[in-house]
A and B are shown apart, each in its own frame.
Chain A
Amino acid sequence: MKNATFRALGRVIDLLLRHRVLVVATIAALTCVMGYLAAHIEIKTVFSDLLPKNHPYVAVNNKFKQTFGGSNMVSIMLEVEQGDIFDMKLLGKVQKITQDLKKVEGVDTYQIVSLASKKMKEVRASTEGIESRPLMWPNLPRDQAGIAALREAVLNNPLVYGPYVSIDMKATLITADFTDGAVNYLKAYEQIQAIAERASGDGVLVRVVGEPILYGLVNHYLTETLYIFLITVGALVFLLLLISRTWHGTLLPLVTGGVSAVWALGAAKLMGFHLDPLVIVVAFLITAQAISNSVQLVSRFDDEVAAGAPSTAAAAKASLSNLFKPGMLAIVADAGCVLVVALTPIPMLEKISYIGTVWILSIMFSAMVLTPVLLSWCGLRRRYAHPVNIMPALQGILGLCARLVTSRARYAIVGGAAVVFVVSGLYAFNLKVGDANPGSPILWPDSTYNRDASAINQKFQGSDRMFVVVGGKHEGALKEPAVLEGMERFQKYMEAQPEVGGSLSLADILPAVKRVVREGNARYQELGNSANENGELVYMFVSGADPGDMDRFADPQALNGAVTLFFRDHQGETIRTAIARVKEYVAAHPIADAEFLLAGGLVGVLAAVNEVILAGQIEAIAFALLVLVVCCMFTYRSSVAGMFFMVPVLLSNTLTFSYMAWKGIGMNINTLPVVALGIGLGVDYSFYIVDGIREELHHHRDIGRAIAKSIASAGKGVLITALTLVTSVVLWSFSSLRLQADMGVLIAIWLFISACSALFLMPAMVLVFRPEFIVGSKRHPIEQATAVEPVPAF
Chain B
Amino acid sequence: MLKAINGLGKAARSGVALTTSAAPMLIIGALLYTAFFVKAEPQVGNLQARSIERRDAFYGVAVPQADVVWAAGSYGKVVRSDNAGKSWGVQPTPGDAHLQAISAWDAERAVAVGNHGVVIVTADGGKSWREIEVPHSEVANKLMQVRSYAGGTGWAVGEMGAVLRTRDYGASWTRVLDEKDQAWNDIFFVGEDGWMVGEFGRMMRTRDGGESWSTIDSPLESSLMSVHFRDASNGVAVGLAGAVLVTADGGAVWTEARRVTREHLNCVIWDGSRWVAVGDKGIRVTAGADGSGWTGGRISEQDLSWRTQIARAGDGFVLAGANLAQLEHDQLHIIGRD
Contact = CB atoms under 8 A, between A and B. Distances in A.
Contacts of B264: 520-522
Interface string A576-597: 1101110010000000000000
B27 A625 contact: yes
A770 B3 CA distance: 8
Interface in B24-45: 24-25, 27-28, 31-32, 34-36, 39-44
A611 B280 CA distance: 46
Contact of B24 (A167, A621, A625): A625
Contacts of B23: 643
Contacts of A642: 21, 24
Nearest to A84: B301
Given A155-B281, A496-B47, A577-B42, A625 B35 contact: no
A623 B17 CA distance: 23
Interface string A585-617: 000000000000000000000000001001110
B144 A769 contact: no
Nearest to B43: A577
Contact of B55 (A492, A526, A614, A625): A492
A781 B23 CA distance: 24
A584 B31 contact: no
A389 interface: no
A629 B306 CA distance: 70
Contact of B21 (A496, A579, A643): A643
B75 interface: yes
Interface in A189-221: none
Interface string B306-317: 101000000000
B240 A520 contact: yes
Contacts of A497: 47
Contact of B42 (A488, A489, A573, A616): A573
Contacts of A640: 17, 20-21
B93 interface: no
A635 interface: no
Nearest to A520: B264
A520 B306 CA distance: 11
Nearest to B13: A777
A625 B28 contact: yes
Interface in A504-549: 519-523, 525-526
Q: Number of contact residues on B: which range applies? A: 35 or more
Nearest to A579: B42
Nearest to B36: A615
B159 to A, nearest CB: 10
A646 B42 contact: no
A614 B2 CA distance: 37
Contacts of A519: 222-223, 240
B4 to A, nearest CB: 11
B32 A622 contact: yes
Contacts of B150: none
Contacts of A622: 28, 31-32, 35
A460 B132 CA distance: 44
B31 A495 contact: no
B138 to A, nearest CB: 14
A152 B122 CA distance: 42
A491 B55 contact: yes
Contacts of A629: 24-25, 28
A155 B304 contact: yes
B281 A433 contact: no
A522 B266 contact: yes
Contacts of B302: 167-168
A493 interface: yes
Nearest to B17: A640
A584 B49 CA distance: 14
B205 interface: no
B326 interface: no
A768 interface: yes
A105 interface: no
A639 interface: yes
Contacts of A23: none
Count chain B CB atoms within 10 A of each CB in A523, A526, A611, A642 and give the residue with the most: A523
B117 interface: no
A618 interface: yes
A639 B22 CA distance: 8
A577 B49 CA distance: 14
Given A168-B302, A523-B59, A639-B24, A619 B42 contact: no
Contacts of A559: none
B31 A769 contact: no
B102 to A, nearest CB: 14
A351 to B, nearest CB: 21
Given A497-B47, A622-B31, A643-B20, A768 B53 contact: no
A526 B98 contact: yes
Contact of A769 (B1, B35, B75, B322): B1
Contacts of B31: 618-619, 621-622, 625
Given A576-B40, A581-B44, A523 B308 contact: yes
Interface of A: 155-156, 161, 167-168, 433, 488-489, 491-493, 495-497, 502, 519-523, 525-526, 573, 576-577, 579-581, 584, 611, 614-616, 618-619, 621-623, 625-626, 629, 639-640, 642-643, 646, 650, 768-772
Closest 7 CB pairs of A and B: A639-B21, A622-B31, A619-B35, A576-B42, A618-B35, A492-B55, A496-B49
